[in-house]
Amino acid sequence: NLKIPSPSLIPRLNFTPEFSTSSPHTIADEEISDESETDSQSDGRENKFELSFFPDEDKEEYIFFQKTLTAVKNWFTLFGWSKGQNPISIPYSLRRDVCKVQMSSSQETAFKQNLGKDTKTVYDMVFHLSGQLLPGITSSKSLPLDPLEQMLRLHRQHSTLLAFLKSQGAYLPHVMPEFLLEPDDYKKWIQVQTALRVSLGNNHLFILENSLFETMSKRAWTDVLLQIYKVFVLPRVSSRNSTDQFSLESTQKMPRIKSEPLSSNIYSPYERTILIWLNNHYEKNRKSVWKDCQKVPPMRWIVNFDQDLLDGLVLAAQLAAYCPYLIATHFVRMYTDPRIHEQFLHNCLILVDAMHAVNLSIDIKVNDFILAVLIYF
């Protein structure tokens, strides 16, 4: 049986640099006589970062990104914390609560202490999921009172977080510590960096105006959480005691999904282990779950986590393996060969109802399936 995790990174300045109203830009040298290699490097950074924004609502990819963000938010709200659920918003509460808990733990007043008593931060989340403390970061350590020093401390802490995640195998080359800051702190960081570059004679700095910073921050925090899940949660998947399932005659006729690290450039070994688990249970149970239906669902090779799960049959087969009593009350009413989106939605309604019937602690709603089905059709 597979163990499946619960689920379908100075001086005070008194000036503010100008912020573009429409796009990221660099602070250009007043003497533009010299278009050197520095300019091309700066342009390269801009192009790289432009691919890292959360897409606008009018873009084709927006729906996919929004669904990913919602799934990430729901999972970490439910399972990312040591003492039950803790609602989060991306990126707002993750940015805000780091400042709140640090400020509220100051010994200035009892009011501030009580205000942040139960506030949880991304560092608490990482400790809960990894069992490791980030070097130099504790919830009880207060931030400096000076706003500029606060920003510099937070920037160092975010740098530590990103370095720690990368050391564990996270892939975050596009996420800079400043993208994880609050917007006002990001402006302070720009002020500091601008002054440093002016003093060094290097006037090229990548700057995001307010609205673009928010799209960058939303994407950065979403990717950080996805990588936290990848390096600390997915590795818990184990393929122990799966030899009996592989001995099934029917599964031997199917192409095998290999879990070796180099056998896929899309899914990790742990994700491929879950695909193997889905294939085995579906093939083992499809004939027994829907044996009394007019048509038994056909054999299928499950190779992804989106299109192959849309009709609800694969997930129903997994639930039936552990809760066979749901077969008679729920799963026999599913379409075993759905063709139109109404039949897909009917199956999804039954599947969600079955999850609620067994009090499965996953905040999955029918709408989560509906949007995916509509996109498919």
Distances (CA, A) of 281 to 10, 28, 189, 294, 362: 60, 60, 52, 21, 20
Threshold 0.75, pTM exceeds: no
Can you give the pLDDT at residue 271?
Answer: 85
3-state secondary structure of 256: coil
Distance separating alpha carbons of residues 4 and 314, to the nearest angstrom? 16
73-99 pLDDT, tens per residue? 989 998 999 888 889 999 999 988 876
Q: What is the mean pLDDT of residues 137-142?
A: 64
Between residues 201 and 312, the one the model is more confident about: 312
Which stretches of the chain are DSSP H helices?
37-50, 62-79, 92-104, 110-115, 122-130, 147-167, 183-200, 210-232, 243-246, 249-252, 269-289, 313-322, 326-329, 341-357, 366-376
Element (H, E) at 26: strand 25-26
DSSP codes, 104-127: HTSSS-HHHHHHTTT---HHHHHH
Assess whether pLDDT exceeds 90 at residue 165: yes
Cα–chain center distance at 275: 20
How is residue 256 written in tokens?
Answer: 């095998």
190-247 pLDDT, tens per residue? 988 888 877 776 667 778 888 889 999 999 999 999 999 999 998 887 766 544 444 4
Q: What is the mean pLDDT of residues 270-278?
A: 86
State phi, psi for 25 to the nearest 5 degrees: -150, 175
Can you give the pLDDT at residue 176?
Answer: 92
Can you give the pLDDT at residue 7?
Answer: 32
Instruction: Identify whether the C-beta of residue 294 lies closer than 8 Å to the C-beta of residue 333.
Output: no
**Half-sphere exposure for 129 (CA within 13 Å, toward CB):** 29
Give whichever of 7-16, 47-56, 288-297 has the largest mean pLDDT: 288-297
The mean pLDDT value of the chain amounts to 75
Can you give the pLDDT at residue 253?
Answer: 58
Cα–chain center distance at 88: 12
- The strand pair at 206-207 and 25-26 is best described as antiparallel
